[in-house]
Amino acid sequence: MLMVSKIALVVSLCVAIGCSVASSSSRTTEDVKDLAPAAPVGAEPAKEKQTAVFAGGCFWGVEAVFEHVKGVNDAKSGYTGGDVANPTYEQVSEGNTGHAESVKVTFDPTVVTYSQLLSIFFSVAHDPTELNYQGPDHGTQYRSAIFYANDEQKKLAEQYIDAINKAKVFPKPLVTQVVPLKTFWEAEGYHQNYLKAHPKEPYIVINDIPKVEALKQKFADLYAEK
């Protein structure tokens, strides 16, 4: 869905039926956090900067959430998961490239761990039970996915999903894909830091600011005003 039509659709839906900013995932944050997998006993703590790539609907909100996490040095919106090189936003929005709107998070593991990033991803960044859509955005380009960079990330993500499903934290099973990271294609410049640049845009106000507020409330120890 192209940017203009995305905003228009949200506005029309809100006028017609009203909007609730509360998400099902934000109501179960503590349950999700309690199930976060710990690092193996005796494992050497990572010291170098690491990257994690997540997809959970429109990348504007996912990027904004991770931008406000302590220990995150950078969050970039982009595209991955498909086979089209140098994709454009318009191409990805058509849903035929195989790519998902994604966010690459560069973080300091001595400040925030990969497991904590997973908790934020599952709790406030998106609804991991919705298949190929988030809010008003529909299509495989808006799927829930974790693109792992190494075997440790894969193992932690799979353990976490299994634990959440077994505990029945959500009313439906998680549909989040756990797949190897291919090339991450950085999105166009006007998509970067979109919430910060457009805080009063209707789409942002309705869909994305509530996510950042949920992060602030549910993960106060990890929230950073940036």
CA distance 134 to 48: 33
DSSP state of 69: B
Residue 58 is a catalytic residue: yes
CA distance 141 to 43: 36
Phi, psi of 177 (to 5 degrees): -80, 145
CA distance 9 to 78: 23
> Pick the catalytic residue: 7, 32, 36, 58?
58
Phi, psi of 52 (to 5 degrees): -140, 145
Nearest partner of 132 among 98, 159, 162, 157, judged by Cα: 98
Do residues 160 and 36 lie in contact, with contact meaning Cβ atoms separated by under 8 Å? yes
CA distance 34 to 192: 32
Residue positions annotated with a catalytic role: 58
